[in-house]
Amino acid sequence: MRAMLFASACAVAQLALALPAQAQTNDQAANEASDDELVVTAERRSESLQRTPIAATVMTGEDLANAGVTTVDQLQFVSPGATVNNFGQGIDFNIRGIGKAEHNTQTTTGVITYRDGVATFPGYFAGEPYYDIARVEILRGPQGTFVGQNATGGAVFVTSQNPQIGGDNDGYIMGSLGNYNSYSLQGAVNLPISDTLAARVAFNTDNRDSFYDITGPYTGDDGVHTFSGRFSLLWEPTSNFSALWKTDVNYLDLSGYNADPVLATNDEFEITANADIAALDRFARTVLQLNYEFEGGTTLRSVTSYQAGSTIYRSDLDGTGAGNLTFRDYVEEDIFSQEFNLISPDTGALSWILGLYYQHDEYDFPPGEFVIGVPPGSVFSEYRLQGTNPKETSAIFGQISYDLTDRLELEVGARYGRSTTENHVTVSQYGTPIVQEQSAEWENLSGKVSLNWTVDDHNFVYGFIATGFRPGGLNVPVGLGLPAPFDEENVTSYEVGWKAGWFDGHLRTQLSAYYNSYENFQVIIGYPQFPTFGFELNTPNPSTIYGVEAQVEATFGNFSLDAGLGIMETEIGEFFATDPRAASFTACNPATGPASASCINLDGREQTYAPELTFNVGMQYVFELPGEDTLTPRLNYGHVSEQWATLFQNVARGDRVEERNIVNAQLAWTHGDFVTTLWATNLTDQHYMGALNSGLRFAGPPRQYGIRVYRAF
């Protein structure tokens, strides 16, 4: 398949302590701050973020708009410990250094993204926009005892707005104009149909010219043209039953995922190309959620989903107009999933959730649609792949919470899961036919034990041990017989945390420390016996990942601030490997070596996509104007320090991904039902590597700015 620190902590603390304490005397504002407290719904019930034993960042739809977050890429600038490296047709999404580091369909992701309660596509279709969103929850650390998929790094829950029964025909419309001839339109409307039925319709469209100036024989990039729509229907015929149906459709024509060689010295947006470039994602998702509450308060929940999509990618694989290396693919993916939950009421000392989960995910590579040409045009100069890759996941999971005292709670969760993968593919490797009929399966028992202490009404302390699991996969053969599968990954995480409220709820803080033992890290190296071929396997010794994280949310009158800090240290266990990018014919045993110029001992190297420092801060002040108008300036800053894209950490080969410093700003004027906003993203116009893949650098977005008008009705 396709090769797809301490001073800052003190500053955050000093900033929090320096905020004006006199605001606590305003009782009305204190009540409002309490009412605005964020909740976490990921555990299939609504709980206060400040009383949940999970390190998490929770943002409302308004928070996302204020921070300039419209896609998954930008989450790394608003949440500590998160990094996103987006190369277009797929992403490397990592939380605390764990998630996804290899770019192929067999390597699943350790950070699961859920849309309206459903685990979405694990690699493709990463560009689905955020619009008409109720909230986004970014959970850090292993997850899996209360929700469908198992996760080693974390999970992201994206929840769109629901229809409102008994509401009005209300909604909003929003339009924007900006540089690169960009224009967009977004809107939503709530449609009350009866006393028991309501619908909601939402849409989003974006258009702009290309960021790139492409010279050479091919200059076909004409920018971005996207449309997304969502239809939701909520039916509540009785007080104890509800049915919520949501269907999303997406047409994302991104023209191309332009890139040039990772060591190129030219401007990232001034490139050459001589191959056809295309990038088109078309996909849909339908979700049916049924809830029935029994007498006594226990709820039975069913979440059924079907997702289908096709992705087209055509690329100049050498990244220049001088070479003759091309890539193209057309891949179809279908996912069916079913989850059942039995959820107890929260009224007693004992509460629990029990779940069953099944998912079938299948990739289809049609004949003649997955081709690497060196140069293209002949069976003897092309690598071609066709066939199917079906995967299945099934699990039973549960979590129990018991109040040992009125302030001390014990949580115990467990998950048993089974995963399978199959390859029914045919490869034409530069004229050599290879057939692969192969399958593999994995079983796992993971769990979590947490002790939670509500010290008082303002302080909550927790500590837990949790494990997470990610299945292995199959290697595509290279003419040396059927290769061995790579094995599953496991992580054992130890975490302690303290969540506190200050100044009558105007200031909320989170502080956590964690230590992870990360076993069987999945990585592509040179085939141990024939290093000229790439081969995915597991590191023989555990990696260690540990760090601290802090978050602050403050509201004092018209001033508000949010900030996050993550400090992380990582270390790979002893491991010998040959860099598949370097020509070598010397065998290299991953466990024993021996070390040589080509058989490199990677012991002590940093984990990939694990920056030592992540930091974000956003602040705004609401100026009150005559006639109840307001003027609100806001500034957001996100920092992700340097990170490594491979374990070989070869600067000469471009393995270092430089730091990212992104400043977003906006000035919003509210007048009646209208909000007019001047906005800018990447205000300093930092040119940075958004991802490294296949020897190419994919630039992050440059500076964009414009004006946006929002009207509620």
pLDDT reported for residue 247:
98
Q: For 648-702, how does the pLDDT look when each residue is reduced to its tens digit (9 = 90+)? A: 999 999 999 999 999 999 999 999 999 999 999 999 999 999 999 888 999 999 9
pLDDT confidence of residue 23: 31
What pLDDT shows up at residue 375? 81
Confidence of residue 12 (pLDDT cuts 50, 70, 90): very low
pLDDT one-digit tens code per residue, 365-375 = 999 999 998 88
Does residue 355 carry a pLDDT above 70? yes
- 473 and 523 Cβ atoms separated by less than 8 Å: no
The burial of 126, by beta-carbon neighbours within 10 Å (0-12 exposed, 13-18 middle, 19 or more buried), is given as buried
Q: Which of 582, 682, 559 is nearest to 22 (CA)?
A: 559
Residue 206 has pLDDT above 50, yes or no: yes
pLDDT of amino acid 15:
36
Q: pLDDT of 551-570, one tens digit each?
A: 999 999 999 999 999 999 99
Q: What share of the chain is helix, strand, coil (3-state, %, to 5)?
A: 5, 55, 35
**Predicted confidence band of residue 37 (pLDDT cuts 50, 70, 90):** low
CA dist., res. 9 & res. 564, Å (int): 9
Decide if pLDDT at 13 tops 50. no
Q: How far apart are CA 309 and CA 124, in angstroms?
A: 9
CB 557 within 8 A of CB 610: no
pLDDT for res 671 = 97
Q: Three-state secondary structure along 588-622?
A: CECCCECCCCCCEECCCCCCCCCCCEEEEEEEEEC
Residues sharing a CB contact under 8 Å with residue 386, sequence separation 6 or more, in sequence order: 365, 366, 367, 368, 369, 370, 425, 426
- What average pLDDT score do residues 321-337 get? 94
476-491 pLDDT tens trace:
988 888 899 999 999 9
Whole-number Å distance between alpha carbons of 543 and 405: 38
- Statement: residue 610 has pLDDT above 90: yes
pLDDT attached to residue 647: 93
Cβ 710 vs Cβ 686: under 8 Å = no
| Distance of alpha carbon 521 from alpha carbon 518, whole angstroms | 7
Instruction: Report the C-alpha gap between 675 and 595 in whole angstroms.
Output: 63
Considering only 32-36, 58-62, 269-273, which range has the smallest mean pLDDT?
Answer: 32-36
What are 414-435's pLDDT values in tens digits?
999 999 999 999 999 999 999 9
Class level of CATH domain 6-712 = mainly beta
Judged by average pLDDT, the poorest of 46-50, 276-280, 417-421 is 46-50
- DSSP type of residue 63: H
Top pLDDT among 90 and 268 is at: 268
- Dihedral (CA of 43, 48, 53, 57) sign: positive
As a whole number of angstroms, the distance between CA 80 and CA 568 comes to 10
Per-residue pLDDT, 306:
98
Is the pLDDT at 20 greater than 70, yes or no?
A: no
Residue keyed to tokens 């449609």: 191
Q: Give the chain's radius of gyration (CA, Å).
A: 25
Check residue 516 and give its pLDDT.
97
Per-residue pLDDT at 24: 32
- Binned at pLDDT 50, 70 and 90, residue 276 comes out as confident
pLDDT greater at residue 33 or residue 48: 48
Q: Specify whether the CB–CB gap between 522 and 486 falls below 8 A.
A: yes
Q: pTM score, two decimals?
A: 0.92
Domain boundaries, the chain: 6-712
- What SS3 state is found at 64? helix
Tokens coding 308: 């289908």
Question: In which band, very low, low, confident or very high, does the pLDDT at 36 lie, cut at 50, 70 and 90?
Answer: low
Torsion of CA 363, 368, 369, 375, to 10 degrees: 130
| pLDDT reading at 534 higher than 90 | no
Note the pLDDT tens digit of each residue in 445-476: 999 999 999 999 999 999 999 999 999 999 99
What's the pLDDT score for residue 16?
36
Residue tagged 């996050």 (tokens): 564
